[in-house]
Chains A and B, each alone.
Chain A
């Protein structure tokens, strides 16, 4: 298995632009998680899905952030409009029955 796949690996954008991060979980996994990591705040859970349904989005910082999971093999995290404080590494992870989580390589987002 290729593991969790994220794209792009790096994204540089200007403030105010829309940013879309993509994630393909491990086949057969029923949970998908989006995390954000910064030096100041560490690794934070943003939202997670179970069987494509959002379960807890309490970690989503504000309405500028949205996440979707249209099917079991694809999820997106969108930021519109982006701000410099959104600069971080965004990780996607998946798991089977919510036990061990397998993380992707992350997307490093820089908003200028």
Chain B
């Protein structure tokens, strides 16, 4: 699986959009970009995934650059409950396992 690079930590004000970047410059054509998050003392939670088109669901939006070498997870209106570690993971199509890095610690403040 391609290696990902994320900032160690980010801050966001409650109600504002949180934009979490991820670099995956060695991504292959058959690799998807997945985002998970882990709220303190809970198990990781799936957020969203995509191949090359932008994706949106009830939790977030995923913007993937045209060359697919980077992506941004967008939480449109961050709340205090969005404080968590966010993991960007690149995974081969059809491959079952996930390899978690260190992620980005997002702190949402009032």
- Contact present for A43 and B97 (CB under 8 Å): no
Q: Give a binary string over A57-100; 1 marks a CB under 8 Å from any B CB, 0 the rest.
A: 00000000000000000000000000000000001010100101
- A contact residues, total (Cβ < 8 Å): 22
What is the minimal beta-carbon distance from A67 to any residue of chain B, in angstroms? 15
Q: Which residue of B lies closest to A105 (CB)?
A: B43
A43 to B, closest residue via Cβ: B100
Could you say which residues of chain B place their CB within 8 Å of the CB of A104?
Answer: 43
**Contact A98 B46, CB 8 Å, known A42-B101, A42-B102:** no
Flag whether A45 is at the interface (Cβ < 8 A). yes
Contacts of A33 in B (CB 8 A): 97
Secondary structure of the B side of the interface? loop
Please state if B100 and A100 are interface contacts (CB–CB under 8 Å).
Answer: no
- Number of contacting residues on B, CB 8 A? 16
Q: How far is the CB of B39 from chain A (nearest CB, A)?
A: 11
- Answer yes or no: B28 CB below 8 A from chain A CBs: no
B99 touches A106 (CB 8 A): no
> Residues of B contacting A101 with CB < 8 Å?
44, 46, 98
Query: In the complex, which residue of chain A has the Cβ closest to the Cβ of B44?
Result: A103
Closest to B100 in A: A43
Q: Are the CB atoms of B43 and A93 closer together than 8 Å? A: yes
Q: Does A56 contact B (CB under 8 A)?
A: yes
Candidates B38, B42, B45, B96; contact of A50 at CB < 8 Å? B96
- State the A residues within 8 Å of B (CB): 4, 31, 33, 42-45, 48, 50, 55-56, 91, 93, 95, 98, 100-106
Known: A4-B43, A102-B46. 10 other contacts (CB 8 A): A42-B101, A43-B100, A45-B98, A48-B97, A56-B97, A91-B44, A100-B46, A100-B49, A101-B44, A105-B43
